A and B are shown apart, each in its own frame.
Chain A
Amino acid sequence: MVRTKILPILVCLTTLSSAARAENKPPFNLNNPKRIEMGKLRFETSCAGYCHGFDGVGGTAPAFRGRGDGLDPSYVFETITNGRKGHHAVMPRWGGAYTPEQIWELVAYIEFLAHQKPPQTK
């Protein structure tokens, strides 16, 4: 009896979760140079300064530049949208500030960085 009640709820939640993730698809080609440039502008004022560096290398977080680990665009989108609570620092939630399209432009720039040459170690 209990199982029959829980199962539809679980199915429903799973379906909702899949639907939510399905929405996390870019509405444009992430390789579009104009979108990458828009993302770069936003990155410089939102992400670079103290945290991720102007070249995608900086802070206590792993470098974006030259990651080469198949950075999942939807994962990046969700992280930017919801923020992340670290220890040394807090990544603010950007979902209240930027539209999904603007966040996808940030994703485009970060994906662009990920495919550049890795930084030289000092």
Chain B
Amino acid sequence: MKFASDTRLRMLALALLTTAAPLMARAETVRQMGMASPNDWPEYHRTGAAWAYSPLSQINQSNVTKLKVAWIAQPGDITKGLQATPIEIDGVLYYIGPYNHVYALNGATGKIIWQFQPKLAPISDQSFYSATSRGVTVGRGKVFIGTLDGRFIALDQKTGKEIWSRQLVDLKTTYGSVFSSPPQLAGDVLFGGTTGGDQPTNQKIYAVNADTGAPLWTFDTIKNDPKSWPGKSGEVGGGAAWMPGTYDKTTDTIYIGIGNASPDFYGKDREGDNKYTSSLLALNPKTGKLKWARQEIPHDVWDYGAPYEAVLLPTGDQKTLIHLNKSGFVFVMNKDNGHLRNVWKLVHAQNTIKEINPKTGELIGRNEAVVGKKKLLCPWLLGARSWNAGAYSPQTGYWYTNTMEACNIVVSKKDNPSALKAISALSLGAADLVTEPPPSGKPRGQLVAFDPVTGARKWSVTYHIPALGTVLATAGGLVVNGDVEGVIHFYSAKTGKELWNFNAGSGIRGGLISYAIKGKQYIAVPTGLGSAAVGFMANAFPKVKTLPAGAALVVFTLP
């Protein structure tokens, strides 16, 4: 009997192995992951490789001048502009407007299929991040959002009806920390972090069961280590994972970048490396345990957070990951252990860190703000690039990203706790903070094509005001980038030559995507300027004061 049972078990194991083998064989390479589902834009960065690259080529260099507007969608509210990156799956386009207003549209016509807007708790109006809505996530028959009152919500993908809602963050005790970005899927795990890097609180990454909303784990981005955070400094240390992470199916790994340390410009009360602020984390999705961490800016005192995208390259051993933080240094590392392969400089206006050792990651020549004295610090607190991602094209092998050449003058100061009572208070640790041109000349922005491993510049175009949108690359040999004045530029991915443009009337702050329905390719561009960054830019770029706000999703196709 025992023998029979063992035999049965062995046969069962064999059967499982036989059925699992094809699954194992389907375990994708980075290249396969980046090229999957070519007709859709199923994730925030299209795939877990975070290329923001569409394999579609119907719209290409030879016919881009013939593009026409297929349809326009308006969310009905322009507060803080249209910051979302839409999702498109099987002909349906999903996007989110200000105040968490979610829409599902026919991707070919723009006709509304359903819409949903949660009843936000009144306290959300007090948050510094009020109205900010950066995207949705679609999968498992659901549409997921993170809300401006601290919840994850799952909607029925077909109807938009609420399936579950889970309160995760108390705005009253976290200085108004909210989910401005969409939580992401890693299998049946839904994970994401809050805004709030400038708030005097300690942030977390939250994970729930995507099907039920049941909490699974939280990860404290403020490491419980007195060497890293002396005294109680970690309790107000910031470390917000405020942008979407990515999921690497090839190794079952979450990558998620962590924001700056708080108070931003005053580090005397937190002498230490302040882990895991300004770091890239690799997490196990099931447990939330750390696989590895790469802190890029130890003891950040410049507001140089690292919440940006982790791009996986299909070249070489397919284990190279590049990751940018606000300092303007790009870290090239092994995606499976975080070991450094190179570090290179993104912008010219950099005087806060002389160099970073490309082998050890050590910061050499730190130039920090001081108490009672003005210091010119470059890049400024908005970073060498804003949060909107770059794009990688496997056709050219280039990584395309916007950059900002701008600085700020800062006077460091210990924040007075009595002035930090409001939930929207910012703990900047500054007595003065004003934008300033770089020493080398006028402040400006650029779209640059880089070799992502060496940092070699292949081509660049210059904007007199930095562009703030996400870049799109396509297999049609195109790179598409919208500027803050509302002009959508279509460039040759190889040379940077501008091939066509379209004036949408208000600047681009969201993420551009491309998809195909019934053999017809579309390019969708969220237009409409807004966000706190625009206000901060005004001193260095006075023209932004005259630029109209807006919110409209403009979708192009060929006639």
Docked complex Cα distance between A49 and B260 (Å): 15
Contacts of A17 in B (CB 8 A): none
Docked complex Cα distance between A83 and B124 (Å): 12
Docked complex Cα distance between A53 and B123 (Å): 25
CB-CB contacts below 8 Å: A45-71 with B: 45-46, 48-51, 53-55, 57-61
Nearest CB of chain A from residue B364's CB, rounded to whole Å: 29
Contacts of B538 in A (CB 8 A): 58-60
Residue of B nearest to A41 (CB): B419
Docked complex Cα distance between A50 and B421 (Å): 18
A122 at the interface (CB under 8 A from B): yes
Of B46-54, B74-82, B453-461, the one with at least 4 CB within 8 A of chain A? B74-82
Whether A88 and B425, one on each chain, are in contact in the complex, defined by CB atoms closer than 8 angstroms, is no
A54-B430, A87-B79, A87-B530 known; A45+B420 contact, CB < 8 A: yes
CB-CB contacts below 8 Å: A83-122 with B: 83, 85-90, 92-94, 96-98, 102, 122
A42-B419, A87-B79 known; A51+B424 contact, CB < 8 A: no
Docked complex Cα distance between A44 and B416 (Å): 10
Whether B535 and A93, one on each chain, are in contact in the complex, defined by CB atoms closer than 8 angstroms, is no
B529 at the interface (CB under 8 A from A): yes
Nearest CB of chain A from residue B417's CB, rounded to whole Å: 10
Whether A92 and B428, one on each chain, are in contact in the complex, defined by CB atoms closer than 8 angstroms, is no
Contacts of A45 in B (CB 8 A): 415-416, 419-420, 422, 425-428
Docked complex Cα distance between A44 and B431 (Å): 7
Nearest CB of chain B from residue A105's CB, rounded to whole Å: 10
CB-CB contacts below 8 Å: A21-40 with B: none
Task: Bits for B118-138, please: 1 = Cβ < 8 Å to A, else 0.
Answer: 000001011110110000000
Docked complex Cα distance between A35 and B548 (Å): 37
- Cross-interface CB contact of A53 among B125, B434, B542, cutoff 8 Å: B434
- Cross-interface CB contact of A87 among B78, B128, B532, B544, cutoff 8 Å: B78
Docked complex Cα distance between A50 and B413 (Å): 17
Whether A89 and B530, one on each chain, are in contact in the complex, defined by CB atoms closer than 8 angstroms, is yes
B87 at the interface (CB under 8 A from A): no
Contacts of B426 in A (CB 8 A): 45-46, 49-50
Task: Bits for B415-451, please: 1 = Cβ < 8 Å to A, else 0.
Answer: 1101111111111101111100000000000000000
B198 at the interface (CB under 8 A from A): yes
B531 at the interface (CB under 8 A from A): yes
- Cross-interface CB contact of A97 among B424, B529, B533, cutoff 8 Å: B424
A58-B536, A97-B421, A122-B542 known; A88+B427 contact, CB < 8 A: no
Docked complex Cα distance between A41 and B415 (Å): 9
Residue of B nearest to A52 (CB): B535
| Total number of residue pairs linking A and B with CB closer than 8 Å | 119
Residue in A42, A58, A87 with the greatest tally of chain B CB atoms within 10 Å: A87
Whether A58 and B539, one on each chain, are in contact in the complex, defined by CB atoms closer than 8 angstroms, is yes
Residue of A nearest to B424 (CB): A92
| Chain B residues touching A, range | 35 or more
Whether A87 and B431, one on each chain, are in contact in the complex, defined by CB atoms closer than 8 angstroms, is no
How many chain A residues touch B (CB < 8 A): the figure is: 32
Docked complex Cα distance between A83 and B415 (Å): 24
Whether B535 and A88, one on each chain, are in contact in the complex, defined by CB atoms closer than 8 angstroms, is yes
Contacts of A46 in B (CB 8 A): 419, 422, 424-426
B208 at the interface (CB under 8 A from A): no
Docked complex Cα distance between A45 and B200 (Å): 11
Whether A92 and B434, one on each chain, are in contact in the complex, defined by CB atoms closer than 8 angstroms, is no
Whether B198 and A49, one on each chain, are in contact in the complex, defined by CB atoms closer than 8 angstroms, is yes
Whether A87 and B549, one on each chain, are in contact in the complex, defined by CB atoms closer than 8 angstroms, is yes
B35 at the interface (CB under 8 A from A): no
B545 at the interface (CB under 8 A from A): yes
Task: Bits for A72-85, please: 1 = Cβ < 8 Å to B, else 0.
Answer: 00000000000101
Docked complex Cα distance between A55 and B435 (Å): 12
Contacts of A44 in B (CB 8 A): 413, 419, 428, 430-431
Whether B531 and A88, one on each chain, are in contact in the complex, defined by CB atoms closer than 8 angstroms, is yes
B73 at the interface (CB under 8 A from A): no
B517 at the interface (CB under 8 A from A): no
Whether B130 and A92, one on each chain, are in contact in the complex, defined by CB atoms closer than 8 angstroms, is yes
Contacts of A92 in B (CB 8 A): 125-128, 130, 176, 422, 424
Whether B419 and A88, one on each chain, are in contact in the complex, defined by CB atoms closer than 8 angstroms, is no
Whether A57 and B539, one on each chain, are in contact in the complex, defined by CB atoms closer than 8 angstroms, is yes
Task: Bits for B245-265, please: 1 = Cβ < 8 Å to A, else 0.
Answer: 000000000000000000000
Closest 6 CB pairs of A and B: A87-B549, A97-B422, A59-B535, A50-B532, A41-B419, A92-B424
6 pairs, A vs B, C-beta closer than 8 Å: A44-B413, A50-B532, A54-B430, A55-B432, A88-B80, A94-B126
